[in-house]
Each structure stands twice: as structure tokens, then as C-alpha cells.
Amino acid sequence: MKEIKTDITVIGGGPAGLAAAVEAKKQGAGKVLIIERDFELGGVLQQCIHDGFGLHRFGRRMSGSEYAQIFIDEVNELGIDVVTDTMVLEVTPEKELYACNSTDGMMHISSGAIILAMGCRERTAGQILLLGGRPSGVMTAGSVQRYINMEGYLPGKKAVILGSGDIGLIMARRMTLEGIEVEGVYEVMPNPGGLTRNIVQCLEDFDIPLHLSTTVAHVHGNSVLEGVTVAKIDENRKVLHETERFIPCDLLVLAVGLIPENELSKGAGIALDPKTKGPVVDQNFMTSVPGIFAAGNVSAVFDLVDYVSMSGEIAARGAVRYVNGTLPSGEGKDVKIAGNVNFVIPQKVIDDPEGGNMFFMRVKHPDGRSKISAAGGEIAGKSVHQRVAPPEMLACEVRGIQDAELEISVGAVG
Amino acid sequence: MELNERVVSAIKEQFPSLDIRCEHDFRDIVTLAGECETWRQLIDVGHAAAHVEGVRNVVSHMTVKGLVIPKKDYSETIRKGKEIGVIAKTDVLIVGLGITGCGIARELAKYNLKIMAIDMRDDVGAGASKANNGGVHMAGLVKPGTLKAKLSVRGNFLYDKWAQELNFTFIRPGHLNYITSIDHLPSIVKIFETAVRNHDRDVSMLDGPQTLKIAPGIKEIMGDDPVASVLTPTQGKVHPYEVCVALAENAVDNGVEILLSCELGDVITENGQIKGVITEKGIIETKYLINAAGLYADEVSVMAGDECFTLHNRKGTIAIYDKSKPPATVQLAMRERPELKKDVESKGGGTDQTPSGNILMGPSATEVPDKEDIDTTEQDLAYTLNRNDNPTITPADVIRIYAGARPADLKEDYVIGMSELTHGLINAAAIQSPGIGSAPGVAEMVEGILLEDLEKNGTPAKRRDDWNPIREKKVKFAELSREEQAALIEKNPAYGHVICRCETITEGEILDAIHSPIVPTSIDAIKRRTRAGMGRCQGGFCQPRVLEILARELGKEWVEINLKGRDSTVLKQKNR
């Protein structure tokens, strides 16, 4: 077994992990290692060939792979160690880690600090209890994206999309451009699940209808998809059978939500937040296990990659301070939430004036002009938003937090 | 009174509005005709007839008002087979490679006989068997005196040997049925008495404190106060598809020839003797036909000139939960819920756990007219999810739902034996729950029937000297220690390349599966052999990788790789 020692080990070479590794090195960390399970760095960004990435951070629109490449170049320039095609099998609470690949075999890695950046996975047909048959031709939007953009294959000729999350919307456009007929997008909720700009650019611009409060009630086909029955649902999500309609199709694309990947976190005994399904973190994105940090979609599902990178950098600064012994320790206090706030990360604040000060939140329900307020600190920069909705994450910087007491609220303003 | 008349009057008593006609043959097999109101009623009428004393089994020619009962058309298969002509001659042909056919193939391979086996699907165990909950049943739930009871008890006993020789995962976690109200005592006493009558020597009754000592989770997690329980230590569990593959691989290693994606179209008989079969791959001449065709076994028996039972699809829906939930202590315990046991024929399952640690709920039990119907429905799923008593798990923890078909006859017992009408036809049919657990018993019985007949005909079978009962253990990377894993990768780097991250399945294991006696050609066949894609992301990440490996190793294009069965390609065309 190969013994390796690092100052900081980053698990995952997607946007969060890349930003974290680069920032850690810039902050003076010694040996930084990125472990990536795919054959190249970049994570899911490599299959995101549409534009819109990096608007906040770089002030211009790029494709996902272009965005990733900026960080990959930095990783190379800074001499950060990378192992690809490598799977982390286990992380212990003592920050010991086991990983393996075909060239190095089994590796036992001891780290000063670990940054978890495994990202998230898609919800599946099984998880949403999709009824009917289980034929080929039913797949998640991310899989369709991978097959089309990375592998160069089309998984169908006529598609129905269930779920209006961003990947589903992006794929509605992408499939249309590739000659797949997209019959429509069906959303269980009364509101769209994706960003407004994607509804406009990916559906409206291509005349793809969006059917709200509608679901796929039955999948037809034993081994080959023959079609789906769609139906309206009532407020208790019960199918209204009189509204059922059969649509012949050979592809059902599921864009029904993302779940942070936290199997390694659970193994390490890290406390998880039932709402975000990610680790509970403090303002430095450190988890309940000292020295293990979480960044990006592993901590909560973000909407914009810019925020994912930012969270990676905050975690990296915390990790470097942890390794140097300059990070204050402490249990921390819960960040209180009020008004229209559904959840906020970080969920905890420790008494650390030099620590991170970015807070990310999602609202419970759509609302008009709203203001973010912080009791126990002051909001720097933009606090008023013209409209708020659950799919769009709100971010704010909070300065001058006293004694780790903080309450964040969002409320409508006239 | 004549048997016919007794059957008709029994049906009339329960279903006065129906006009059902009845005939019986010399074996006391009755054939019913007439129109029923619903499919469920047709099944109930069949059961009513089967319950009449002296009735050996029931054939249904009954119809349902306004319902076209789906029927398979074999004409194209017959046409193809005839066009190709004779492709093989064999002593024994096994039709159907579910757990029953695979078990028989493996046991018969001991003898100096030429044995062939066919299945209409692209893999072994890909019909009813794969959707079974994997229970190697205890003796307390099967009606004493039935063939089912005899063979499931015998099968349970033989499983250790099978597992040892064939190296599949087999555990005996036991089962604990407990009650929280003394009013429910009869339900567990019945289990206990049934087990005793079925010669289970290990079964015992426990009081409340004894129950909690064994399974403290009943109180700690379920919040229940048990007053009594029945403990059956013999209850075991397997992955049914793994057992099928292990049996079939061992059979092939010992010379059995297997043809997959080979549907049977007709049976050739001459003067009451089996002569051969017409399949889509050609005609196979055979002296014996072992009918293990699952839900289609009744049709195969008719083709062979012996209509002696009718099968119906009792569909069962199962929900699989994420492995991370919940603690294992509760898993061997299930609260008896007599309120759910209204329908004695349609036994459904409850809370269970697979040998890999996933909670499994169900199956439900619903009669459906289409043998191919394995759709999940709102109602069946509600039943299945409702079997959960554990407050720490919720429908949000479900990772997969699926349904399977139980091949039940109207007598609700196994049909095993040499046909009295067509010599050479040995039925091994109507093997429903507990068919997985019974499989070694069924195989042993069929082996006995065949040997006896060969003996009688003056051509006794001889045991082969070179029969190898052992199927080598497959590498299961995830179950090894870090040191063992390290050593394994050093020997073969393919074991260092993890393909399925939810279940930690390596490329080495997938290659092992592909380069095995029965080549898996679909994504699902790989899943059943290795567990790649069986985890919480359901192949979201590993499916393209598995597809790539399959295409590479089989020398196929990506667009040719199926998910499951014919024409079920994952990808339709190249886009650039």
C-alpha cells in the first residue's frame, strides 16, 4: 500500500475542488493533492458545453469547460498534485483516507486537512417512485447530457422531460439542437424548478411547452420505452386521472433534483443537515469534524458555479489556517433564519473575525421585491432583490458579526 | 356426487350469478369454462374449484366480460424455427432458466447425459426469479402436506451445501415475528405450529423480554412493546439472480449447453412421446423436455399435449431502500399485522433486508391477466410502502421500485412430475413463492423423476467421474479488507479502477463477469452479476462506463448495447 502525506487533500476535481486547491496553494499550503474519479479534471463542467458560466466571477459568459479550464491551467501552473481515475473509498474522522486506481494501487493518505468536493448526484426514477415499466429510454438529464456532449450519441428521437430543473431545461434546448423532438417539459410543482433565464432561453425560444402541476403518471414499456401517460395533479400531488394523456416517445428525461454526495462524509462521522442533505458547516465551511471542510454542491446544491468556486476558496482559506494552527476552534452557534428563508449555509458561526463571511440561502416561496437583513451583523453590497424564488440562490456578505450571534431573514419590501 | 357436479355446486354457492361449466379427466384435473365478471373473480372461481376435495388441479378456459386476455402468438417463432431446421439433438432439454431451470441444469450435469437448456430472455434468471425478494423461507409459512411445504423445507436444508459449492452469498439471519397485543397470539402460534408440522426443529416461541433481548431495536427504534414472538433461525437470504448465475455457470462448466434469447414456439410429440421442440433458433430433437418455463409453463405443457394446469400472474411490487438505513437489529423482526392477511392465497411480503444490507419492502400481491405485466402501480406501491413499521425510514429513502410475476396455478401448489399423457415431458411448474428457497428441493425431485424413468427404460444414467460441483468464488472487491484490495490491485490493476462508486464495483469484476461461462450482454445482466448500477444513483454515473466496457469486450458498437432484453438499446444513434 502506497503511503502518502499531504497538507491538504481535496476530494473531487470539479469546480469546488479546483477552486479550493488553487486557493489553498495561493495561501501558502505545502503539498496539495486533488483526487478525481473521472479521467480528467473539471467534473460535470466538462459536459456543460452551453454558455452562461462565470458571469458573476469573470464578468463574461463561458461554457462550463472553458470555465473549468481557467482553474485547471492554474492547478498546473501552481504545481498542485493531481490523481485522476482514482476513487476515494473511505475517509476516517482522523483524516486518514483510502483511495485506489489502476496505476498507484491502494493509497493510504494522511492529510493535515481534507476538503470534500464530491459534488452531487441526480435523483432517479426510483427515488421519485415513478410508476409503470422500467424500460430503456428513461434516464436522468445529466446522463443524457453526458451521452450527447461527451460520448457523441443520441439516446432517443422523441423526448418528454419530467422536471423543470436547470439541467432539464438546458437539455430541452440541447436535444432540440441535436434533432431530438422535445414534446414538452412537465413539472410537478406549480412553479418552474429552474432559473428564469433558462426558461426563456431554453424553452420559450424553442417553443417547447412547460406544463406545471403535471406529472408522468405511468411509464409504458417493459424493455423498450413506448411512451408515457402524463396527468395533472392536485395540491396533494394526487393524479387527476381524468386529465391523463398518452404521449408516444422513446426517451423520458428526468430532471427531478440533485442530492449532495455525502457517503464519504457519513463514513467520517460528519453531521449532516437534513434540509440541505450536506454537512453542517461554519463560516469557514468546516464540518463538525475538525480539519474536514466541505465545498460546493457537497454542502448544498448551488445554482451558479461562481458560488461553488467561492465556497471552495473559503473552505481552502479555512483549511490552510487549520493546518497552520491559526484557525480558532469552537462549537459555534446556529445561524438563525427568519421570514422567507428556507435554509442558509453556513449553518453555524464561530467567533472568528477573520473567517469567511459569505452566506448562501434559498427562499421558501416566490416573492416580489425582497430584502435580506442580518441581525447581529451588517450586509455588505446588494441586499435588495427585485424578485426571489426557490430555484435562485441568494448570496450575501455579512460583516461585523459579534459573538457569533447572527439571524438572517428575507422579507418583502414595498 | 360426481366430481364435476361437486365443483359446479361449490362455485354456484359462492358465485350464484355465474354460469360455469366443468369437466374432469381421469386424473381428477378439472377444466372450467364460462364467463366471469372480472379477472379477480375468475381467479377466485378457480380457487373455489381447486378447494373441492379430490380436485387435483384446475385448468381455466374461462373468459372475462369485456376483457381480452392477452395471449402470446408463437407463429413467427415456429416459422423461423422450421425454416432453420434441426440444429441439435439432445437427451434432455430444459426450457426456462429461472432458478428452477438453472437448479435442474446444475444437478443433472452430474450424469452422462447430453443436456441443453434454453430461455427466451437474454440472460438466466431474468424473468420471475430476478424480481424475487430472495428469501430462503422458513417452514412456518407454508401449508403442511403440500409439495410446496415439502420442497421448501428440503430446499432450505440443502442451501448451505449449494452456497458452499457454488460460492454465492447466503446468510441465515433468521426471522422474528412478534406481536404487541396478546389478541394477536393466534397468528404467531399458527406460524409456530406450522413450522413444527413442517419438521422445523429450530423454531421457538419467546415472551416479551426474551424477544427484546434478541432484538432490542423493536423497542428502541420501532417503539413497540412486544408481548410474544416466534423465532425461526432457519430463514435465509440470497440474491436470487446471483444464485441463478452461479447454478448456470456451474452447469455450463460441466457440459450443459445453454441457448439464450431462444424462444420456444412448439413441442413435437409422436405417439405420446416427446420428440423435440421448435425454437426461434431452430429445431432441437430431445427425448426429455423439462418444463421450467415459469409463467409460460402451462402453455408449454399444452404444446406437449398435456393441459393439466393454468398459470396466472400474481404480480408483486418491491421497494428497495438506501443501504445507509436503518440499523440492522430490527431487520430480522417483523410485527405481525393480522389485519393485512385477509387474502390467504395472495401472500405478500413485509419488511426484509437483502444480503447486501438494503431494506426491502414487499412484495405486494395482485392478480393481473397479462403474463407480461410487471408495471408498478399506485395501489401496489402504496401496499408495499405501507408494510414499513420503522419510523426511521421513509419513502424518501427508496432507491428503486420494481415488480415481478409469480407463476401461480389455481391449486396454489407446485406441479412437478412426469406427464401421464406425454412421456418425456417433466413439468417443474407453478413454482411461486417460496420458489427460490425450494429450488434445491425441486431440482432434487426432478433429478429423481428423470433417473427413475431412465432406469425403467433400461438406459440408466451413470454419474460422470469428472463432474465438478465447485464454481469458483468471484472477486467482490467491496467486501475485502484494504490490505486484500491492495494485494488484488497489485496482481491485476483492473481491480483498482472503480466503475460503480455507489457499490464500489471495479472494472476487474465487470471483466470477470463478461469473461465467464454465460456471457452477459446487457447493462442489466452486468448489474445482476456485479451490482454495478444497483446503488443509490442507479447507474447514473457508471452506466456509460459499463456500456463502454461491454461494447469493447464484446466487439460491438455502443448503439448495439441493450439495457435489458431485445432492442432495448440505451443509445439510438451516433450524432457526430
Residue A109 has pLDDT above 60, yes or no: yes
A262 and A117: one domain? yes
Q: What pLDDT shows up at residue B344?
A: 45
Q: What pLDDT shows up at residue A137?
A: 98
CB contact under 8 A, B399 and A178: no
- B-chain CB neighbours of A125 within 8 Å are 538
A264 and A336: one domain? no
Q: How many residues does chain A have?
A: 414
Residue A204 has pLDDT above 80, yes or no: yes
> In 3D, which of B19, B34, B36, B29 has the Cα closest to residue B52?
B29
> For residue A259, what is the nearest residue in chain B, using CA coordinates?
B537
Q: How far is B364 from chain A (nearest CA, A)?
A: 15
A347 and A403: one domain? yes
| Interface residue of B523, B570, B574 to substitute, partner A, most A CBs within 10 Å | B570
Average pLDDT of the residues in A142-169 = 96
Nearest to B571 among A85, A154, A224 (CB): A154
CB contact under 8 A, A223 and B566: yes
Q: What tens digit of pLDDT does each residue of A209-218 get?
A: 999 999 999 9
Q: What count of CB pairs under 8 Å joins A to B?
A: 148
CB contact under 8 A, B568 and A155: no
Measured between alpha carbons, how far is B297 from A248 in angstroms, rounded to an integer?
33
Nearest to B575 among A121, A132, A153 (CB): A153
User: CB-hemisphere CA count at 13 Å for A95?
Assistant: 24
CB contact under 8 A, A129 and B493: no
A11 and A84: one domain? yes
A111 and A233: one domain? no
Question: What total number of domains does chain A contain?
Answer: 3
Q: How far is A109 from chain B (nearest CA, A)?
A: 13
Q: Classify burial at B270, counting beta carbons within 10 Å of its beta carbon; exposed 0-12, middle 13-18, buried 19 or more.
A: exposed
A184 and A269: one domain? no
CB contact under 8 A, B496 and A100: yes
- Judged by DSSP in three states, A221 sits in coil
CB contact under 8 A, B402 and A134: yes
Domain that holds residue A188: 124-256
Return the C-alpha torsion angle B303, B306, B307, B311, nearest 10: -70
Nearest to B574 among A127, A139, A153 (CB): A153
A55 and A7: one domain? yes
A128 and A248: one domain? yes
Q: What's the longest Cα–Cα distance across chain B? A: 78
Residue that is written with C-alpha cell 423543470 in the block:
A164
Answer whether B30's CB lies under 8 Å from B307's CB.
no
> For residue B404, what is the nearest residue in chain A, using CA coordinates?
A133
Measured between alpha carbons, how far is A254 from A247 in angstroms, rounded to an integer?
16
Of A256, A281, A304, which closes a domain?
A: A256
Measured between alpha carbons, how far is B434 from B129 in angstroms, rounded to an integer?
11
A200 and A78: one domain? no
Measured between alpha carbons, how far is A80 from B348 in angstroms, rounded to an integer?
57
Candidates B24, B51, B137, B423; catalytic one: B137
Q: Which domains does chain B have, with CATH numbers?
A: 3-64 (3.30.1340.30), 75-130+241-310+412-456 (3.50.50.60), 135-238+313-408 (3.30.9.10), 477-560 (1.10.10)
Nearest to A106 among B486, B536, B574 (CB): B486
> In 3D, which of B138, B137, B143, B261 has the Cα closest to residue B202?
B138
A268 and A243: one domain? no
**What phi and psi values does residue A406 have, to the nearest 5 degrees?**
-150, 135
CATH number at residue A218: 3.50.50.60
> For residue A3, what is the nearest residue in chain B, using CA coordinates?
B486
- pLDDT mean across residues, chain A: 96
- A-chain CB neighbours of B489 within 8 Å are 100, 102, 105-106
- A-chain CB neighbours of B482 within 8 Å are 1, 89-90, 98, 106, 108
CATH number at residue A356: 2.60.40
Average pLDDT of the residues in A27-49 = 97
Going residue by residue through chain B, which has 576 residues, state the pLDDT in tens, using 9 for 90 and above.
799 999 999 999 999 999 999 999 999 999 999 999 999 999 999 999 999 999 999 999 999 999 999 999 999 999 999 999 999 999 999 999 999 999 999 999 999 999 999 999 999 999 999 999 999 988 888 899 999 999 999 999 999 999 999 999 999 988 899 999 999 999 999 999 999 999 888 999 999 999 999 888 888 888 889 999 999 999 999 999 999 999 999 999 999 999 999 999 999 999 999 999 999 999 999 999 999 999 999 999 999 999 999 999 999 999 999 987 665 555 567 777 766 554 544 556 778 889 998 999 999 999 999 999 999 999 999 999 998 878 888 999 999 999 999 999 999 999 999 999 999 999 999 999 899 999 999 999 999 999 999 999 999 999 999 999 999 999 999 999 999 999 999 999 999 999 999 999 999 999 999 999 999 999 999 999 999 999 999 999 999 999 999 999 999 999 999 999 999 999 999 986
Q: What pLDDT shows up at residue B352?
A: 85
Q: How far is B497 from chain A (nearest CA, A)?
A: 5
pTM: 0.96
- A-chain CB neighbours of B378 within 8 Å are 131, 239
Of A279, A297, A327, which closes a domain?
A: A327
A138 and A232: one domain? yes
Answer whether A117's CB lies under 8 Å from A88's CB.
no
Q: What tens digit of pLDDT does each residue of A42-98 get?
A: 999 999 999 989 998 999 999 999 999 999 999 999 999 999 999 999 999 999 999
A133 and A48: one domain? no
CB contact under 8 A, A85 and B538: no
Return the C-alpha torsion angle A147, A151, A152, A155, nearest 10: -30
Average pLDDT of the residues in A291-311 = 97
Q: What tens digit of pLDDT does each residue of A224-268 get?
A: 999 999 999 999 999 999 999 999 999 999 999 999 999 999 999
B199 a catalytic residue: no
Q: What pLDDT shows up at residue A331?
A: 85
Of A256, A288, A310, which closes a domain?
A: A256
Answer whether B155's CB lies under 8 Å from B335's CB.
no
CB contact under 8 A, B496 and A133: no
Measured between alpha carbons, how far is B82 from B95 in angstroms, rounded to an integer?
18
CB contact under 8 A, B375 and A263: no
Measured between alpha carbons, how far is B389 from B333 in angstroms, rounded to an integer?
10
